[in-house]
A and B are shown apart, each in its own frame.
Chain A
Amino acid sequence: MFRRGDTLDAGPSARRAQRSRVVTQRWALVDDRLVDVVGVLFSQNIKIRYRGSVLGIVWSALNPLVMATVYSAVFGRTFAPYYGGSVVLYGCTVFIGLSLVGFFVASTSECSTILVQNGGLINKVRVPLEAFPLATIAAHAFQLIAGALPIVVVISLVVNHDPLRVLLLVIPLAALLMLTAGVGILVSAAGVFFRDVPHLYELATFLLWVTSPVFYPVAIVPHPLVHVLIFNPLFVILRSALDIVIAPVLPAPWLPMLGFAEGALALAVGIAAFAAMRPRFMDHL
Chain B
Amino acid sequence: MISLRNVTLERRTREEFDDDLKSRALSLFTGRDRRPRRKRVLDDVSLEIEDGAKVGLIGPNGAGKSTILKVISSVLTPTSGTVDVRGRVAPLLELGAGFNPELSVVDNVALYGVLLGLDRRTIDARLEAILHFAELEEYRRYPVRALSSGMTARLGFAIATDADADILLVDEALAVGDESFRAKSRARIDALWHAHRTVVIVSHDLALVRATCERAVWIDRGRIMASGPPGEVVDNYVRSVDQAATLALARARNGAGR
Interface on A for B, CB 8 Å cutoff? 1-2, 4-10, 12-14, 16-17, 20, 22-27, 33, 36-37, 39-41, 43-44, 47-48, 120-127, 190, 193-197, 200, 279, 282-284
A36 touches B116 (CB 8 A): no
Interface on B for A, CB 8 Å cutoff? 1, 3, 5-6, 11-12, 19-22, 24, 44-51, 53, 55, 70, 73-77, 82-86, 89, 91, 93-94, 97-98, 100, 102-103, 107, 110-111, 114-117, 119-120, 215, 217, 223-228, 232, 236
A195 touches B48 (CB 8 A): no
Besides the known contacts A36-B120, A40-B115, A126-B74, 18 further A-B residue pairs in the complex with CB atoms under 8 A apart: A1-B228, A5-B6, A5-B46, A6-B46, A7-B47, A7-B48, A13-B48, A13-B50, A13-B51, A17-B5, A25-B77, A37-B115, A40-B110, A125-B93, A126-B73, A195-B20, A200-B22, A283-B12
Q: Which of B94, B102, B223 contacts A4 (CB 8 A)?
A: B223
A5–B225 alpha-carbon span in the complex (Å): 8
B100 touches A44 (CB 8 A): yes
B55 surroundings in chain A (CB, below 8 A): 8
Closest-CB distance, A275 to chain B (whole angstroms): 14
Q: Which of A5, A126, A279 contacts B224 (CB 8 A)?
A: A5
With A9-B49, A122-B75, A125-B93 as known contacts, state yes or no: A194 contacts B117, CB within 8 Å: no
A10–B119 alpha-carbon span in the complex (Å): 35
A196 surroundings in chain B (CB, below 8 A): 20-22
B232 surroundings in chain A (CB, below 8 A): 1
Q: Which of B47, B73, B93, B223 contacts A8 (CB 8 A)?
A: B47
B98 touches A125 (CB 8 A): yes
B48 touches A14 (CB 8 A): yes
15 CB < 8 A contacts A-B: A1-B236, A2-B226, A4-B44, A5-B45, A8-B215, A20-B3, A23-B85, A40-B111, A41-B111, A126-B75, A195-B20, A196-B21, A279-B77, A282-B11, A282-B76
Interface centre among A8, A9, A120, A195 (most CB of B within 10 A): A8
A4 touches B224 (CB 8 A): yes
Q: Which of A12, A20, A121, A282 contacts B84 (CB 8 A)?
A: A20
A5 touches B21 (CB 8 A): no
With A17-B3, A40-B110 as known contacts, state yes or no: A123 contacts B115, CB within 8 Å: no
B49 surroundings in chain A (CB, below 8 A): 8-9
A1 surroundings in chain B (CB, below 8 A): 226, 228, 232, 236
